[in-house]
């Protein structure tokens, strides 16, 4: 997969994308992360990417021209048989969840558009018809940190990204609820013991214990996830609320 990021702060990405699973996945060629400075797609002396809002009010609004130009240039660089998704990071978007990450992971390429200031000219939404994603009900300074969240959550789902292919499906949320508790050595630490069942070697009992603990934890901390629990096969094939066809390209 290739992930293209359109941002006015490309310097916010190195470090995070160099480390851990994303860093390894990039080294292994599982994912490519390509940073595009929105200012490179302006054509005025000041390289302006925003302007004052029509109708007055505080703050600045992202201009449509540089964003359209940048997205079109990025798409020209991607082979036309590849499934591309445009994604706008905005607090007004659909909530980014594990099923949303699973949907994005099916694409061949993502274009993540990071906004700033008061927002976007509405024509960026109506003209480019991106998926719109929010990472939570709070307002951040821009879409860069949300884009990093999306890059991380999607990359770890790509085949070859994790050392152990079983890890991703067993995470919290992938099974529709929270994860079970994990233990390693020592067997006893400051008076706290590893549950005996985990040391029996009886895989059926261990699996039953883990399922029970995962359900208990989900009920106690996130009962909303139990309400929305659905069979695993549904979750993997859920379709997005918002859908787009990018210039007639195939869309996953
Ligand atoms: N931009 C600013 N806040 C955001 C959020 N919560 N999610 C996605 N993009 C954002």
DSSP-assigned states of every residue in 188-215: EETTEEPPGGGGS--HHHHHHHHHHHHH
> In degrees, to the nearest 5, what angle opens at C-alpha 237 toward C-alphas 232 and 238?
100
Same domain for 93 and 177, yes or no, is no
Query: Domain ends where: 92, 125, 155?
Result: 155
Residue positions annotated with a catalytic role: 91, 118, 156, 171
Task: Give ligand 1 pocket residues (Cβ under 6 A).
Answer: 89-91, 134-136, 138-140, 142-143, 146
- With respect to residue 241, please indicate whether it lies within any of the assigned structural domains: no
Same domain for 32 and 147, yes or no, is yes
Q: What is the pLDDT of residue 101?
A: 98
Same domain for 28 and 148, yes or no, is yes
CA distance 252 to 249: 10
Query: Domain ends where: 112, 130, 155?
Result: 155
CB atoms within 10 A of CB 206: 16
Ligand 1 centre distance from Cα of residue 93 (Å): 8
Ligand 1 centre distance from Cα of residue 36 (Å): 19
Domain residue limits at 143: 2-155
CA distance 163 to 170: 14
- With respect to residue 160, please indicate whether it lies within any of the assigned structural domains: no
Same domain for 192 and 111, yes or no, is no
Beta-strand relationship, 192-193 and 188-189: antiparallel
Same domain for 142 and 176, yes or no, is no
Per-residue tokens: 175: 């099974």
Same domain for 37 and 89, yes or no, is yes
Alpha helices (H) in 42-180, listed in sequence order: 64-76, 98-104, 122-128, 144-155
- With respect to residue 120, please indicate whether it lies within any of the assigned structural domains: yes
- With respect to residue 245, please indicate whether it lies within any of the assigned structural domains: no
Alpha helices (H) in 77-176, listed in sequence order: 98-104, 122-128, 144-155
Same domain for 43 and 98, yes or no, is yes
Residue appearing with tokens 């909303």: 224
Nearest CA residue ID for atom 9, ligand 1: 90
Same domain for 148 and 198, yes or no, is no
Can you tell me which atom of ligand 1 is nearest the CA of 115? Answer: 1
Nearest CA residue ID for atom 6, ligand 1: 91
Q: What is the pLDDT of residue 242?
A: 42
CB 100 within 8 A of CB 157: no
> At 179, which CATH number?
1.10.1270.20
Same domain for 133 and 222, yes or no, is no
Q: What is the pLDDT of residue 192?
A: 98
Per-residue tokens: 68: 């359209």
- With respect to residue 165, please indicate whether it lies within any of the assigned structural domains: no
Give the pLDDT means over successive 10-residue stretches in the chain (252 positions).
Answer: 98 98 97 98 96 95 98 98 98 97 98 90 98 97 98 97 71 83 98 98 98 97 80 44 47 58
Can you tell me which atom of ligand 1 is nearest the CA of 135? Answer: 7
Total structural domains within the chain:
2
| Burial grade of 244 (CB within 10 A; 0-12, 13-18, 19 or more) | middle
Same domain for 145 and 26, yes or no, is yes
CA distance 120 to 122: 6
Q: What is the pLDDT of residue 170?
A: 65
> At 122, which CATH number?
3.40.1280.10
Helix (H, G, I), strand (E, B) or coil at 233: helix
Same domain for 98 and 17, yes or no, is yes
Same domain for 146 and 178, yes or no, is no
Predicted TM-score (pTM) of the model is 0.89
- With respect to residue 36, please indicate whether it lies within any of the assigned structural domains: yes
């Amino acid at each position: 997969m290739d992930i293209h990021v359109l941002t006015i702060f490309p310097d916010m990405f190195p470090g995070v994308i160099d480390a851990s699973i994303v860093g390894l996945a990039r080294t292994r060629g599982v994912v490519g992360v390509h940073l595009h400075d929105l200012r490179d797609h302006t054509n005025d002396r000041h390289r302006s990417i925003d302007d004052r809002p029509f109708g007055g009010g505080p703050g600045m609004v992202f201009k449509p021209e540089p964003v359209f130009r940048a997205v079109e240039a990025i798409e020209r660089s991607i082979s036309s048989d590849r499934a591309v998704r445009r994604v706008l990071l905005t607090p007004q978007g659909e909530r980014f969840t594990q099923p949303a990450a699973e949907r994005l992971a099916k694409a061949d390429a993502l274009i993540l558009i990071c906004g700033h200031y008061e927002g976007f000219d509405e024509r960026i939404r109506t003209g480019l018809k991106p998926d719109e994603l929010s990472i939570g009900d709070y307002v951040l300074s821009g879409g860069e940190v949300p884009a990093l969240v999306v890059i991380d959550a999607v990359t770890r789902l790509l085949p070859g990204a994790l050392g152990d292919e079983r890890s991703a499906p067993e995470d919290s949320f992938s099974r529709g609820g929270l994860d079970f508790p994990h233990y390693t050595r020592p067997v006893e630490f400051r008076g706290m013991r590893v549950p005996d069942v985990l040391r029996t070697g009886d895989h059926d009992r261990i699996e039953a214990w883990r399922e029970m603990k995962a359900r208990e934890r989900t009920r106690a901390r996130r009962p909303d996830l139990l309400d929305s629990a659905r069979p695993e096969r549904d979750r993997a094939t859920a379709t997005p609320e918002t859908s787009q066809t990018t210039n007639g390209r195939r869309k996953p």
